[in-house]
Amino acid sequence: MKGSRRIGKLTVGGLGGAGLLVGLLLFIVLPAFAGTSGPPVPPPSTDGVTPTDVARGVSAGTDCSAFYASNPSSKPAYSYYIATPESGTYSTTAGGTPVTFTLKEDPPNTVPPLPGYGIDKYIGFTSTNAAVTDVSVASGLDENFDIKGVNDTARYNYSSLPGGFVTSDGYLHPTALLSDKNGRPLILYSYSHVTFCFNLTTASVSGTVYRDANQNGAYNSGTDSLQSGWTVNLYGAGTTPIKTATTGAGGAYSFTVPVSSTTTYKICEVPPAASGTWSQSQPGSGVGCTGAGELPNGYSFQAKTPGATLGPDNFGNAQFASISGTAFNDANGDGLSAGDSGLAGLTATLYNATAGTSTTQTTASDGTYTFTNQVAGDSYTLCISTPTGNYNETLPTSGASCTASGQAAKGYAFTLATTGLTGQNFGLQPIGSISGVVYNDTDANGTYDTGTDTPQSGWTVDLYAGSSLQSAIASAADGTFSFTLPLSVGTTYTVCEAPPSGTWAQSEPLPTSSDVCTGENELPKGHTFTAAAQNERDTGNFGNVAAVGPDEGNQISAPDYTVKLSSYKDTNFVVNSGSLGSGQLFVSLWAGDDTQAKVPLVEEIDWPYDPTKGQNQITIKYTDVFPFNTANLQPMPYCQVDPRDPEDPSGLTLLSEFQNDANKGLVLPGTDTSCLITTTTTTASVGQDTPGGTFTAYVFTDVDGLRTSG
């Protein structure tokens, strides 16, 4: 038996490492290394590999480099050299992984006997964590431990086996000292040292977990942040993790896995507890992960190549949070409070400034909306559309500007926290409007005619809710006025006007409309609206015509026209005379307030008369319906009786019994509302060659009227 001393040396990438020297120290002088491969040297090993005879050199532990001299890229990563091998376990570390080789010398001979069997002729091994691609069983000593001049090695190469490596083999032997004619050894050299060429039987996989700020599925060092504290689970064939790792400050994780040609591994990630909702951008799809807390996408891989470095299998994550709020009808304008109702069907628009995208939600029946799965850490602007009609935004009162068509003016701007955001409420108060135009009704037709009528600025327009004055404004340069306010449903609003000066009668609202305005300087007619909705829009114009009041004798005059009332009437009158566009002469009278008790009156009309044209050149036509329309003119009939006081030389005073409007039927014929009392003509010379005259008519009526000369 040999002594118990041995030498072991690990070589990485062909460079020597420190080994353990125990036992016999051999001093051997060998020739230069040739590395020439010779014939196979049977018998084969337990794994069926027959070695080849390779001439070797002087440097111990360089056999692996020699074996792969022609193809160095295929050379295994590690080699381990054992001098004077003995039965026992040799330990080393390769790439941070513990590796062992357990040798068994002089295994039992077989039947039939092994060729050249003897002490130090055959040896076997088992390894841990080493994928052995080659074994060099070097000679240099005969069975008597004598130094030989020829130093060869037997190379066992496992590249032809499944996987290209073994973890154990038996009945390895050195080269032959003497062989028969068939190449079968008769005498074997004794082995003097053994070298293992190997990779690790493990592979490694690694990656990084990061927050993907722009969700592009790739790590960007300028914008993305590495995530620590994430759990990464490694699965083998089962459903329970075989290993777990926790990412550190750099977001990195790694696993070492056994090499296998059949096992498929899976990697899944788990965010830290209570860290919110996350979505994966990398991998965007992949093997499904269903373990507790795992995000849905993971990686799968096989580790078939010993020592392989797999990956990077990176996980990109975007943290999600939700944004919610309520759009409500802020009826009293005080913000969200009891009694306010939600506004359904509005469009909430969320703009992601970081990603340059936008999305919308429609408010539910209670006015609520929620944006889910929004990326935390991004910057957003949130806006709301307004309902149909007129609304005033009461919440928010400041913030982001919202400029898209149909949106309320103010919104919210924020960076989304991982905890999400609630209470992004929008208050919209329904706003009604009451508007119109104050104008001088030039043609007294009770309608504003652009280009014909003249806007009146500086008139005071008063708004009442019930009997309470709400607001007073002045009409603008174009005569317009507008009140904007939340109307109270069921409340009656009244709009009145007051002139800055002068005496006026109103043509719009019509003189026959009710007197609703009694405020200081206000004209009696106004517009009333009973609000059916807070945001309804009502309009009403005011038409005005310069007017006069009766004198002390209850008379009203204009050129060619005198009117005397039988009693005083407290209203302003518009009295006019002239010619129509057709050349007809006319006189007219109408009261600004035609709701008072009717008062009988006598009109005196004096028109020029040409006696040369005969007696029937003037036929008085009339209409008593205001606003006057010449299309309604009809011939005026004569009265049934003359109701005037014969004692009054002016012919304008009624007898007392006809000063009572109840007796007008004694004067007026049929259904007519005006009648001729008398018509006369007088002749006078207005020049030496131009005779002239006057047509005088007296008319009885109790209403407004237009009279024409034909």
Strands (E) located in 520-673: 527-530, 537-539, 542-546, 555-558, 561-565, 573-579, 585-591, 601-609, 621-623, 634-635
Residues 188 and 278 in one domain: no
Name the residue among 551, 574, 577 with its Cα closest to residue 564.
Answer: 551
Do 307 and 323 sit in the same domain of this protein? no
Domain for residue 284, yes or no? yes
465 and 471 in contact (C-beta within 8 Å)? no
Q: Which two tokens stand for residue 111?
A: 């039947």
pLDDT tens for residues 158-217?
A: 999 988 999 999 999 999 989 998 889 999 999 999 999 999 998 999 999 999 988 889
Q: Are residues 191 and 290 in the same domain?
A: no
> Of 546, 569, 601, at which residue does a domain stop?
546
Under DSSP, is residue 31 helix (H, G, I), strand (E, B) or coil?
coil
What totals of helices (H) and strands (E) does the chain contain, helices first? 1, 54
Domain with residue 502: its CATH number is 2.60.40.10
How many structural domains comprise the chain? 5
Question: What is the rounded CA–CA span in Å between residue 619 and residue 685?
Answer: 23
* pLDDT of amino acid 236: 94
Q: Which structural domain, as residue segments, surrounds residue 279?
A: 202-313
> Is residue 426 included in any domain, yes or no?
yes
pLDDT at 653 over 80: yes
Together in a domain, 615 and 697: yes
Most confident of 19-23, 220-224, 499-503: 499-503
337 and 309 share one domain? no
Residue 1 forms part of a structural domain: no
Please compute the mean of the pLDDT values over residues 78-102 and round it to a whole number. Answer: 94
Q: Are residues 583 and 623 in the same domain?
A: yes
Say which range, 1-5, 191-195, 375-379, 692-696, has the weakest mean pLDDT.
1-5
458 pLDDT more than 70: yes
Write down the pLDDT at residue 27: 32
pLDDT value of residue 59: 62
Does one domain contain both 448 and 396?
A: no
Place of tokens 């070797």: 56
Statement to judge: residues 153 and 195 lie in one domain: yes
**Are 197 and 76 within 8 A, CB to CB?**
yes
Q: In this structure, is residue 13 part of a structural domain? A: yes
| pLDDT mean across residues, the chain | 90
Amino acid at residue number 184? R
| Strand partners for 564 | 555, 602
For residue 522, being part of any structural domain is answered with yes
- pLDDT score for 11: 59
Token readout for 387 is: 């309902």
How far is 411 from 354, CA to CA, in rounded Å?
17
Does 131 reside within a domain? Answer: yes
Single out the residue in 396, 430, 464 at which a domain terminates: 430
pLDDT of residue 174: 94
Q: What is the pLDDT of residues 291-349, one digit of tens each?
A: 999 999 999 999 988 888 999 999 999 988 999 999 999 988 888 888 899 999 999 99
Query: Does residue 289 share a domain with residue 276?
Result: yes
What percentage of the chain carries pLDDT values higher than 90? 75
Q: Which residues contact 496 (CB under 8 A, 6 or more apart)?
A: 461, 462, 464, 516, 517, 519, 522, 523, 526
The predicted structure's pLDDT at residue 71: 93
Please check whether residues 702 and 595 belong to one and the same domain. Answer: yes
Q: Residue 661 falls within a domain, yes or no?
A: yes
Query: Which stretch of DSSP H or E encloses residue 693?
Result: strand 691-701
Of all residues in the chain, the percent with pLDDT exceeding 70 is: 91
One domain, residues 223 and 182: no
My answer on whether 337 and 371 are in the same domain is yes
Is there a domain that residue 44 lies in? Answer: yes
Domain boundary among 378, 400, 430: 430
* pLDDT tens per residue, range 337-353: 888 999 999 999 999 99
Band the pLDDT of 12: cuts 50, 70, 90: low
